[in-house]
Amino acid sequence: MGMNEALFTFSVRQADSALVLAQRLCEWCGHGPVLEEDIAMSNMGLDLIGQSRGYYSYAANIEGGGRSEDDLAFHRNEREFMNRCLVEQPNGDFGHTMMRSFFYSAFSALQHRELRSSTDETISGVAQKAWKELQYHARHTGQWIVRLGDGTEESHQRIQSSLDELWSFTEELFDTDRIDEQLVSEGIICDIGLLKPEWDVMVNDVLHAAGLVVPPKGYRSKGGMHGVHTEYLGHMLSEMQYLPRAYPDARW
């Protein structure tokens, strides 16, 4: 695969994960349990939309075929989305949303910490900002997990169920393929497999402080990066993409 094609695919994968999670977080807008958390979720969503724009516009630039960042976000179908399956999972209750974001932001923060030293100027630029933002997403969501796990019997039981349900989607975060290997060998991206031990420590520290128990190894998701998704993504996209598809000429 040519370098540009590999860079394009990597950028779209990065953008897709950030955008899909942003859309999920913004589904909470107006429904948060308290005003501050409503704002917090939309704020985090906004950061992620910003990060996805950085990657989408770079991908559109590399492709150079006239597709814009908006075309990439709003005019591709489910099977063309290459996000990790974790981020498309439905919101569930507030704790469930915190758990999903925590897994992703701890991962993505570590990845972007490394991408800051990418030999690719654009990726390293996007990473500098993403690293700052994802750290406080991981703190905010991690601290909620502790509060809920160490809270009431009800909150503990509910956040434990979220852990049980979402845990099987975490391994996929670290999946790579030949495109990644190619970019790693060029010094453009980092080998995310090397970050897994650090992610494990952070996640275990939080789950331990919350008094939660990691479920036994069982099913694990895979394939999001190749467009194979759970049933939820298509439904989410049909809502997210509705306006630009129904009114293709609509402008801000």
Residue with smaller CB distance to other proteins, 89 or 141: 141
Q: Nearer to other proteins by C-beta: 124 or 168?
A: 124
Is 184 or 202 the residue whose CB approaches other proteins more closely? 202
The residue type found at 93 is D
User: Could you tell me which stretch among 7-15, 86-94, 102-110, 243-251 binds other proteins (CB under 8 A)?
Assistant: 102-110
- What span, in angstroms and rounded, lies between the C-alpha atoms of 178 and 136? 32
Within positions 123 to 162, which residues make up the interface with other proteins, using CB under 8 A? 124-126, 128-130, 132-133, 135-136, 138-143, 146
Size of the site for other proteins (CB under 8 A): 43
What is the largest distance, in Å, between two alpha-carbon atoms of the chain?
A: 56
Measured from the CB atom, the residue of 36 and 231 that comes closer to other proteins is: 36
Distance CA 45, CA 27 (A): 10
User: H/E element holding 93?
Assistant: none
Count each helix (H run) and each strand (E run) in the chain, helices first. 10, 0
Is residue 199 within the footprint of other proteins (CB under 8 A)?
no
Question: Smallest gap, in angstroms, from Cβ of residue 232 to other proteins?
Answer: 23
Q: Name the 3-class secondary structure at 216.
A: coil
With contact defined as beta carbons under 8 Å apart, do 40 and 94 qualify? no
Binding-site string for other proteins from residue 16 to residue 45, where x marks contact by CB under 8 A and - marks none: --------------------xx-xx--xxx
Binding range to other proteins, per CB under 8 A, among 59-67, 84-92, 117-125, 229-237: 117-125
Give the nearest distance from C-beta 3 to other proteins in angstroms: 21
Residue 222's SS3 state is coil
Cα 227 versus chain centre, distance: 15
3-class DSSP state for residue 163?
A: helix
Angle between helices 121-149 and 153-166 (to 10 degrees): 140
- Asked if 189 touches other proteins (CB under 8 A), the answer is no
Tell me which residues touch other proteins (CB under 8 A). Answer: 36-37, 39-40, 43-51, 53-54, 102, 106, 109-110, 113, 121-122, 124-126, 128-130, 132-133, 135-136, 138-143, 146, 202, 205-206, 209
